[in-house]
Amino acid sequence: MSPTRAVRDVVLVDAARTPFGKAGANGLYAETRADDLVVAVFRELMRRNPQLPPERIDDVAVAATTQIGDQGLTIGRTAGILAGFPRSVPGQSVDRMCAGAMTAVTNLSSGIGVGAYDVVVAGGVEHMGRHPMGEGIDPNPRIISEKLVDPEALLMGKTAENLHDRFPQLTKARADEYALRSQEKTAKAYADGVIQPDLVPVATRTAAAGWGLATVDEPPRPETTLEGLAALKTPFRAHGRVTAGNAAGLNDGATGAVLAAEEVADELGLTKKARLVSFAFAGVEPEVMGVGPVPSTEKALARAGLSIADIGLFEINEAFAVQVLAFLDAFGIADDDPRVNPFGGAIAVGHPLASSGIRLMAYLAKSFELHPEVRYGLTTMCIGLGMGGTVIWENPNYDGKDA
């Protein structure tokens, strides 16, 4: 007898995150452990979904770019134990740099699709204050000595400057204007109460200030002006174009998501916030890693039998404004297209590396809820060392009426 190999639909049941903090001695989470951030998110996901029996969770995957200290020790397993999951629930760690949480979602979703899992929990965390990007690494010297990649490929800010070089139409003025819109849209989303429902309050403590409670994102700068952005220094190159104002900062934070086979979500009475259609990862020249979302999106669209015209909502990680602009130009989308990052993005709210993929999915799920006329949306991001990742989602609220 041959085994049954029917591919199952995968749905995003729920997603949540901590408020994102600024990395450093004065940041929200300066004296808070990275794994405790993940635990707070996992506990909140279970609280929000009481109809999900914890023993039904088949696997847990948590991503971190720097997998040492309180982000090490197979954090998917240890965070699950700390969150109170049954000992029968296994766990794993994932690393694809900035796309860690995105990869945790796609890896586990693939398992659901082939029937290995019914329900899974994915997450991502980065405490860049405790663990700066690249801490403890030992790059093979052949990477540089044999010129396998340009040395600048190891410094993300310089890859963004390289992207400006390659596409001269992506000017600093355009990058600054895009960055200002991200701040303005984030401020409006907060004023409208869109962002707050998915934030998990986190107890914090410092030796100097005692106990506190993190309830909102720390990085946004609603007072930002174009004049202020124009005056910022360009730390990666003299007379460059990349600044602290048109790039995401160094941040701390964690995200988490519950995914399930659609029929299992129906069986348990779980919500369905997005349905996975396709995903793809692609490699590009490491020294211009910011262009990675272009080929990954082309691959994901081709696999789904869709075109860019079918996509009604875009969540693009704003590691650097120039990287978003490169994507928009490649697909003929205007810089201020309202379908793109309607609630702002990482330039305002922060980019704790491996956690950000699920933040994008949470934002898209909220947009799906608000826009039943939109059938398809995507989440995409550039990835260090020259990669891009894209996930295409279908709106379960789609009402069949084209926008």
Return d(Cα 136, Cα 184) in angstroms, integer. Answer: 37
Whole-angstrom distance, CA of residue 132 vs CA of residue 155? 13
Decide if 105 contacts 15 (C-beta within 8 A): no
Distance CA 2, CA 16 (A): 40
Contact 11, 273 (CB under 8 A): yes
CA dist 403 and 7 (Å) reads 30
Q: Which token pair is 67?
A: 């997998």
110, 103, 290, 335 alpha-carbon torsion, rounded to 10°: 70
How far apart are the C-alpha atoms of 109 and 393, rounded to whole Å?
Answer: 12
Tokens of 364: 């898209």
Six-digit token string for 185:
């849209």
Measured from the Cβ of residue 122, the count of other Cβ atoms closer than 10 Å reads 31
Other Cβ atoms within 10 Å of 167 Cβ, number: 17
Kindly compute the dihedral angle of the four CA atoms of residues 133, 386, 178, 329, in this order, to the nearest 10 degrees. 180
Distances (CA, A) of 146 to 167, 185, 289: 27, 45, 20
Residues 6+ apart with CB under 8 A from 197: none
> How far apart (Å, rounded) are the C-alpha atoms in residues 289 and 21?
25
Q: Any idea which residues carry the catalytic annotation?
A: 98, 351, 382
Residue 314 near residue 390, CB atoms below 8 Å: no
Q: Are 358 and 122 in contact (CB under 8 A)?
A: yes
The residues facing 10 across adjacent strands are 261
Burial 248-257 (b: 16+ CB within 10 A, else e): bbbbbbbbbb
